[in-house]
């Protein structure tokens, strides 16, 4: 799994080895991935690196288990969860579980979804798993592009960029997954807004050190892990930004403002009370990075959630290099 010693120590080891030992080799890929069509790809192979683990070594959760929110044990009120509501049904996916698995293949209210989290980019993204008439199931390749998780689908073994939801290698190249609105919020906030909801729990509580962060101190690091692209100039690489499409606002700036309304009707808000999952070894003790929410008004004047994310600035910049990050 990636990595179990401290992120700083592991990064030093990685940067000391020769580039060829870190960068993945397409020749090796073909032996490991005989079903993947490597003749079809939309990104240069040299952008893809080994994450230090093999295919499915970070195991996706394919038969998720849930308990009622009122029965959930061991979660601090301020712990971060991915809160998802589909057709009136609500589920919380704690980062204390996702950090060890990165992908949950689930069906909620009849909709097949992939709930994903890339710790290296702080990217929590939910997708509809239906593409071109198929329902796909996803796993981890063990590869990274711009430090972001590269997933694969088990039907065609095409490779998908988690940050963008796009197929980048294989027969599905050019296809895109549909994003679903979700909140990265504290467990307390999810419980308050969805008292009848459910919470993901480990299928085998002894499989991993659930509740612990294997990337201790990562979001205080000066440089991203396994990343060799350009960095943003206006914010620190691992500063958090709230993103909507190709727009981003510094979370530090939003925290100062508390609320931002844009000319096209977006309402961004910040409220204290959510731990960072990537700070201390014990996730429940992580520093407070706050709850971010982005909504807009509907025709009736009510507020509805929009697709938004809270990512590390370097990751947003890698995939949107010409976009502006608003810091004031």
Q: What is the pLDDT of residues 34-88, one digit of tens each?
A: 999 999 999 999 999 998 899 999 999 999 999 999 999 999 999 999 999 999 9
Spatial distance between the Cα atoms of 298 and 296, rounded to a whole number of angstroms: 7
Residue 47 shares a structural domain with residue 186? yes
What pLDDT band is residue 8 in, cutting at 50, 70 and 90?
Answer: very low
SS3 14: helix
By CB neighbour count within 10 A (0-12 exposed, 13-18 middle, 19+ buried), where does 197 fall?
A: buried
Confidence at residue 18, expressed as pLDDT on a 0 to 100 scale: 38
Q: The pTM is what?
A: 0.93
The pLDDT of residue 7 is above 50: no
Flag whether 200 is in a domain.
no
Reported as a pLDDT band with limits 50, 70 and 90, residue 22 is low
Residues 183 and 225 in one domain: no
Q: Does residue 177 share a domain with residue 63? A: yes
Q: Report if residue 261 sits inside a domain.
A: yes
Q: What is the pLDDT of residue 194?
A: 98
Q: How many residues does the chain have?
A: 328
Q: Are residues 30 and 99 in the same domain?
A: yes
Strand-pairing partners, residue 250, are 241
Residues 173 and 236 occupy one common structural domain: no
Mean pLDDT of 206-235: 93
Whether the pLDDT of residue 217 is over 60: the answer is yes
Distance between terminal CA atoms of the chain? 39
With vertex at residue 117, the alpha carbon angle to CA 57 and CA 5, rounded to the nearest 5 degrees, is 55
Mean pLDDT across the stretch 293-299?
Answer: 92
Residues 6+ positions from 245 with CB-CB distance below 8 Å:
307
Residue-wise burial string across 310-322, b where 16 or more C-beta atoms lie within 10 A, e elsewhere? bbbbbbbbbbbee
CA distances from 141 to 49, 127, 324 (A): 11, 18, 31
Same domain, yes or no: 256 and 181 = no
Instruction: Give the pLDDT confidence of 299-324 residue by residue, as tens digits.
Output: 888 899 999 999 999 999 999 999 99
Instruction: Give the structural domain span for 115.
Output: 7-193
Q: What percent of the chain has pLDDT over 90?
A: 87
């Amino acid at each position: 799994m990636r990595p179990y010693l401290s992120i700083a120590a592991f990064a030093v080891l990685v940067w000391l080895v020769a580039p060829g030992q870190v960068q993945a080799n397409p020749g090796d890929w073909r032996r490991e991935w005989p079903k993947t069509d490597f003749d079809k790809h939309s990104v240069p192979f040299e952008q893809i690196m080994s994450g230090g683990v093999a295919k499915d070594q970070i195991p996706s959760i394919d038969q998720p288990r849930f308990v009622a929110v009122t029965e959930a044990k061991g979660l601090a009120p301020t712990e971060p969860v991915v809160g998802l509501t589909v057709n009136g049904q609500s589920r919380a996916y704690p980062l204390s579980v996702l950090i060890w698995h990165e992908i949950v293949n689930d069906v909620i209210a009849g909709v097949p979804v992939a709930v994903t989290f890339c710790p290296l980019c702080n990217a929590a993204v939910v997708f509809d798993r239906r593409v071109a008439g198929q329902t796909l199931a996803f796993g981890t390749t063990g590869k990274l592009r711009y430090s972001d998780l590269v997933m694969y689908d088990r039907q065609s073994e095409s490779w998908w960029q988690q940050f963008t939801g796009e197929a980048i290698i294989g027969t599905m190249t050019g296809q895109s997954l549909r994003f679903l609105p979700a909140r990265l919020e504290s467990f307390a906030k999810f419980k308050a807004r969805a008292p009848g909801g459910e919470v993901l729990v480990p299928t085998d509580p002894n499989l991993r050190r659930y509740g612990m962060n294997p990337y201790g101190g990562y979001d205080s690091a000066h440089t991203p892990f396994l990343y060799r692209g350009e960095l943003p100039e206006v914010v620190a690489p691992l500063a958090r930004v709230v993103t909507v499409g190709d727009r981003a606002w510094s979370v530090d700036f939003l925290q100062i403002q508390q609320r931002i309304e844009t000319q096209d009707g977006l309402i961004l808000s910040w409220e204290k009370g959510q731990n960072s999952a990537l700070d201390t070894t014990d996730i429940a003790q992580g520093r407070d990075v706050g709850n971010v929410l982005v909504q807009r008004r509907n025709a009736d004047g009510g507020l509805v959630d929009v697709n938004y994310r809270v990512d590390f600035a370097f990751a947003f910049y890698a995939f949107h290099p010409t976009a502006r990050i608003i810091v004031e």
